Structure 1
Amino acid sequence: MRILLVDDHPLVREGLSARIEAQSDLEVCGETGSIQAAMVEFAEKVPDLTIVDIQLEDGNGIDLIKDIHTRYPYAKMLVVSAFDETLYAERALRAGALGYISKRELQEKVLEAIRTVLSGKRYLSGKMTQHLLNQAVNQKGQPASHPVERLSNRELEVFQMIGNGMTTAAIAGQLHLSVHTIDTHREKLRHKLGAKNGAELMKLAVQWVLENG
């Protein structure tokens, strides 16, 4: 089975590659850290599985998953990320991924996750499975437990970039959007998160990235 690795950290790719190549029936057919290169690699290699990080060099892994799923509905994808699974796992599944595993569980669970997704089944941690069950059974119609959970995928992406210290112009450039559009997202973020001004929004974003990144 051929696997494509998409992660912006070379050391993570190296570690994953070593674990995968140690298996007689698995091989890494390509690796990259960007969305643009990943689309090219996927088209050329047609992997059996694509492993995707949330944060990539030129954008958000959720967007990559959507793009691949739209063009190749049969594609099997597994998200491997350090970001909070309660915020991103459900978004990744909706975008087209079959599984989500935290980088904190890589050493123990990554091969299990890979083989589960390759078999066409969904893979989530026990914690995340319980979280989704609780949402479905006990919280139907109730507001999200944390304001960040109410953000759209794009708003969450902008919020994360703000927390990483990026300016409005830099965010606009990376997302290929206008500065005005990013300013609009900032205003929506302030409203949804209860921030009084831009400085308070920045503080919330930095704190969130430190806790979840």
Structure 2
Amino acid sequence: MPIFWTGHLDGSRIGPTICVRASGSMDRIRLLLIDDHVLFRESLGRLFASESDLEVVGQCARTSETLAILQQSTVDVMLLDFNLGTERGTDLIAAARQAGYTGKILMVTAAMDAEESLLALQLGASGVFLKHNSPGTLTKAIHLVAGGEAWLDRRIVQLMAERIPPEREESFGAPLTEREEQVLQGILEGGTNRKIAEQIGVSEGAVKAAIQQLFRKTGVRTRSQLVRAALEGRLTRQQ
């Protein structure tokens, strides 16, 4: 069973979202809004106009329109709805990546199920933001994703934990030690190295060493990638 299935996923511990810190910052974030509801797109445009470090370079509702904009404009973060009428956001991600887009992608959607969310992450999305959250929270999520971090709504994590078939365990990678499980759980809860160390009663150096082991076992280099690896089921518990 994947490690994140065994954690405490109640809101009192994790809160409304899971944010994973990583290094990196940007001065002005160029956004592309992709949603088949014009009113929603225009509302976001007005919201971002009040943010000095956010710039909307385009709005559209279809894959073909997205690819045309990407050819003409530099986009740092793509805000993408999953349900685009006759199209799906995951298909758009695949097309954009194939066309050479290397920027960030944040799913901004009313709902996605576990498999859809997992597929979006596998295709290169940096996270899933649910539309029931506040505008201010969306702005925060954009800044985090633009800086190389992951944004995962707690409800999405719960869905993935509940619905991903346990038989997928057969394809998972190297098992974790007890300490690595504890450190990974702390990362999933958004904890800093110091906070995780205090929670499990070890030094920060021991936490850093465990993180490096987690990186090695999953073949990743950042915490954001580690979270994605956990959600994709590339980690198993020590037997």
Q: TM-score, normalised by structure 2?
A: 0.53
Higher normalized contact order (CA 8 Å, seq sep 6+, divided by chain length): 2
Deviation at 1:133, TM superposition (A): 5.4
One-letter identity of the residue aligned with 2:98: T
Q: CA deviation at 1:84?
A: 3.1
Give yes or no for contact 2:67–2:99 (8 Å, CA) kept in 1: no
Give CA-to-partner distance per residue, 1:134-173, whole Å, 9 cap, x none.
678xx63279xxxxxxxxxxxxxxxxxxxxxxxxxxxxxx
2:133 partner letter:
E
Q: Post-superposition shift, 1:71?
A: 2.8
Equivalent in the alignment of 2:43? 15
> Which residue number corresponds to residue 141 of structure 1?
167
Secondary structure of the structure 1 residue equivalent to 2:129 = strand
Q: Specify which structure has the higher proportion of helix.
A: 1
TM-score by length of 1: 0.59
Aligned letter for 1:86?
A
- Once structures 1 and 2 are overlaid, which stretch shifts more, 54-63 or 1-10? 54-63
Matching residue of 1:122:
150
Contact 2:128/2:151 (<8 A) preserved: yes
Partner of 1:178 in structure 2?
none
Counterpart among 67, 88, 108 of residue 116 in structure 2: 88
Letter in 2 for 1:97: A
Q: 1:111 aligns with which of 139, 144, 148?
A: 139
1:28 to 37, 46, 56: 56
Query: Quick one: distance in 2 between partners of 1:103 and 1:133?
Result: 21
Q: Which amino acid aligns with 1:80?
A: V
Unaligned 5+ segments in structure 1 are: 144-213
User: Is 2:63–2:95's contact at 8 Å kept on the other side of the alignment?
Assistant: no
Distance in 1 (CA, whole Å) between partners of 2:168 and 2:79 is 33
* Structure 1 residue runs of 4 or more that deviate by more than 6 Å after TM superposition: none
**Whole-angstrom CA distance in 2 between matches of 1:15 and 1:113:** 17
Aligned: 1:43 with 2:64: no
Q: Percent identity?
A: 28
Q: Which residue of 2 aligns with 1:52?
A: 80
Q: What secondary structure is seen at the aligned counterpart in 2 of 1:3? A: strand
Aligned partner letter, 1:3: L
Q: How many residues align?
A: 141
Q: Look up the equivalent residue of 1:78 and give its one-letter code.
A: L
SS in 2 for 1:104: coil
Task: Sort the Cα spacing of 1:128 and 1:57 in 2 relative to 1 into closer, same or farther, 3 A.
Answer: closer
1:102 maps to 2:130: yes
Change (3 A) 1:58 1:40: farther
Over the residues paired in the alignment, what is the CA RMSD in angstroms?
A: 2.4
Residues 1:14 and 1:7: Cα distance change in structure 2 (over 3 Å): same
Partner-residue secondary structure (3-state), 2:56: strand
Paired with 1:59 and 1:77, the residues of 2 have a C-alpha distance of 17
